[in-house]
Amino acid sequence: MRAGESAVTSEAEGLHCPHCGGGLSPHDRWRLACPADHRWYAVVGVSAGKGTPEHGGDQVSDPGRVADIERLVASPGVRDTLPPQVMLLLLGMLDREREGRSVPPRPEETRCPRCGEGLTGFESGDSWAAGLRCPADHEIWCRGGHVWWGRGAARVEIADEYADEQLSRTVRAWLESKMLRRQLPAPVLEVFTWWHDRSG
Ligand SMILES: [Zn+2]
Ligand SMILES: [Zn+2]
């Protein structure tokens, strides 16, 4: 265990879901979830749980392929080499295969991840990300389902899971763009192609 890891974990325990304000706790080794089962990928500065959740095999259409995805996301160092978006897509595929999970489009983030209170926008002068503040003056930034705060070593970032339609659309975008496609290691490209072909 690296120095400071336990401190990061205890911070994770105090975090709140940006959708509903519910307390976040480790869901699996990559993600945090609230009691309403909104799942957030721990991108930077926060560690999730250990191990993988129990899962039934009922939904799995291609056990070999699903095992491939499990191995991919669990391989050491993968978090540092794959873009967060690719990790989110792979985890989204796992959820759907293993649990038949369906995710409707989610509204904007309205709750402070640091205290659970309501967020209101402020004029940040930043056209790239939305700046939000809670009554305790926590400053939060949001863009495209990613939510972050703090700077440098203190930066924390979590990312929302993809809605069903968004997942298919984003996988397609990675496959259709030469520039994006080049960034995909061969096993990931294989999985993306499999997913795209079978979901039409
Ligand atoms: Zn929630
Ligand atoms: Zn707050």
- pLDDT digits over 110-120, tens only? 999 999 999 99
Its pTM stands at 0.87
Q: Is the pLDDT of residue 52 over 80?
A: no
**Amino acid at site 170:** T
- pLDDT digits over 118-152, tens only? 999 998 888 889 999 999 999 999 999 999 999 99
Give the number of whichever ligand sits closest to the CA of residue 24. 1
- pLDDT digits over 78-102, tens only? 878 899 999 999 999 999 999 999 9
Q: Is the pLDDT of residue 50 over 50?
A: yes
CA distance to 26, 81, 160, 191, per residue, from 185 (Å): 28, 10, 23, 10
Q: Is the pLDDT of residue 53 over 80?
A: no
Quote the ligand 2 centre to 126 CA distance (angstroms).
20
Q: In whole angstroms, what separates CA 148 from the centre of its chain?
A: 12
- In 12-150, the DSSP E strands lie at 25-26, 31-33, 39-44, 120-121, 130-133, 139-143, 146-149
| Residue linked to tokens 């009691």 | 35
Give the number of whichever ligand sits closest to the CA of residue 21. 1
pLDDT at 37: 95
Quote the ligand 2 centre to 135 CA distance (angstroms).
6
Quote the percentage of the chain above a pLDDT of 90.
67
Quote the ligand 2 centre to 23 CA distance (angstroms).
13
pLDDT band per the 50, 70, 90 thresholds, residue 198: confident
pLDDT at 125: 85
